[in-house]
């Protein structure tokens, strides 16, 4: 039921966008031109408009919110489209909007989709129009991005060492575009090499874990000594009575 409501809200938004920003038509048509006018005004393709809206949302929030370059945004659009083309359950299936808003165990594969509605609603303007242009180029096969294998991306500046380490050990880097790095899934041979390789993010994460363990151990020792000292003072007071 929640899925249906989500898709419905997306569709309504796309329709409203089409009606608000689509080409205007004259309010009055002379009687003799009704047939010609009906032929000229095509019915809107609601599915296409909805898919355009969903890809534009991903470009707008995943790339635009991090001041991504146009090249990086086009690669983000490619990731969305390629996941849909793959038609895999783990990414939400073959529908573009299902992919963009796919959530599993409370985690959204595109982080913006988990934001409250008010924070994931575009407000129009140049940045939104640019996102629509990039999404349209991708869906119509006009994008100049050549990579077809990319399925994942990461912004190193905004990614924790823990998650960056996971990316390095699970996926093969393909290209850097703007602020993001884009990855593909590995072959079995590549997977073995990835797992056994060393990466700076993994070293930093491991060092942070070790430091945390040492700090916890030191705190536990400090508390133990404090408890012993308290017990000793209490024993001394009793002996002096």
| Residue-wise pLDDT tens digits, 153-175 | 999 988 999 999 999 999 999 99
pLDDT value for 124: 85
| Count: domains in the chain | 1
Is 94 within the bounds of a domain? yes
pLDDT value for 27: 37
Cβ atoms of 165 and 134 within 8 Å: the answer is: no
Is 115 within the bounds of a domain? yes
pLDDT digits (tens, 9 = 90+) for 60-98: 998 766 678 999 999 999 999 999 999 999 999 999 999
pLDDT at 227 over 50: yes
Tell which wins on pLDDT, 43 or 111: 111
Residue 17 banded pLDDT, cuts 50, 70, 90: very low
Cβ atoms of 215 and 189 within 8 Å: the answer is: no
pLDDT at 184 over 70: yes
Is 183 within the bounds of a domain? no
Residue 100's domain comprises 1-21+43-146
Closest by CA position to 15, among listed 40, 41, 62, 51: 51
Supply the DSSP string of 188-202, one letter for each residue: HHHHHHHHH---HHH
Dihedral over Cα of 102, 107, 110, 112: its sign = positive
Is 101 within the bounds of a domain? yes
Is 208 within the bounds of a domain? no
pLDDT digits (tens, 9 = 90+) for 24-65: 333 333 344 444 444 455 567 788 889 999 999 999 998 766
Q: Using CB atoms within 10 Å of the CB of residue 72, give its burial: 0 to 12 exposed, 13 to 18 middle, 19+ buried.
A: buried
Is 142 within the bounds of a domain? yes
Q: Where are the alpha helices (DSSP H) in the chain?
A: 2-21, 34-40, 46-58, 70-86, 96-100, 126-139, 161-170, 188-196, 200-239
Is 210 within the bounds of a domain? no
CA-CA distance, 127 to 60, in Å (whole number)? 7
pLDDT digits (tens, 9 = 90+) for 131-145: 999 999 999 999 999
């Amino acid at each position: 039921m929640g899925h249906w409501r989500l898709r419905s809200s997306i569709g309504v938004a796309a329709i409203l966008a089409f009606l608000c920003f689509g080409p205007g038509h004259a309010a009055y048509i002379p009687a003799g031109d009704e047939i010609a006018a009906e032929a000229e005004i095509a019915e809107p393709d609601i599915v296409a408009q909805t898919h355009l809206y969903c890809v534009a949302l991903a470009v707008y929030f995943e790339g635009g919110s991090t001041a991504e370059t146009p090249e990086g945004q086009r690669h983000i659009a490619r990731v969305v489209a390629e996941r849909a083309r793959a038609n895999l359950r783990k990414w939400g299936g073959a529908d573009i909007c299902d992919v963009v808003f796919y959530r599993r165990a409370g985690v959204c594969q595109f982080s913006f989709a988990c934001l409250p509605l008010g924070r994931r609603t575009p407000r129009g303007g140049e940045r939104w129009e640019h996102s629509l242009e990039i999404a349209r180029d991708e869906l119509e096969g006009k994008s100049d991005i050549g990579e077809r294998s990319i399925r994942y991306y990461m912004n190193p500046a905004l990614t924790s060492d823990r998650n960056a380490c996971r990316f390095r050990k699970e996926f093969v880097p393909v290209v850097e575009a703007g602020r993001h790095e884009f990855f593909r899934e590995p072959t079995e041979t590549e997977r073995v090499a990835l797992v056994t390789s060393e990466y700076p993010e993994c070293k930093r994460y491991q060092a942070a874990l070790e430091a945390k363990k040492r700090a916890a151990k030191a705190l536990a020792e400090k508390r133990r000594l404090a408890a012993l000292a308290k017990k000793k003072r209490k024993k001394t007071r009793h002996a002096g009575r």
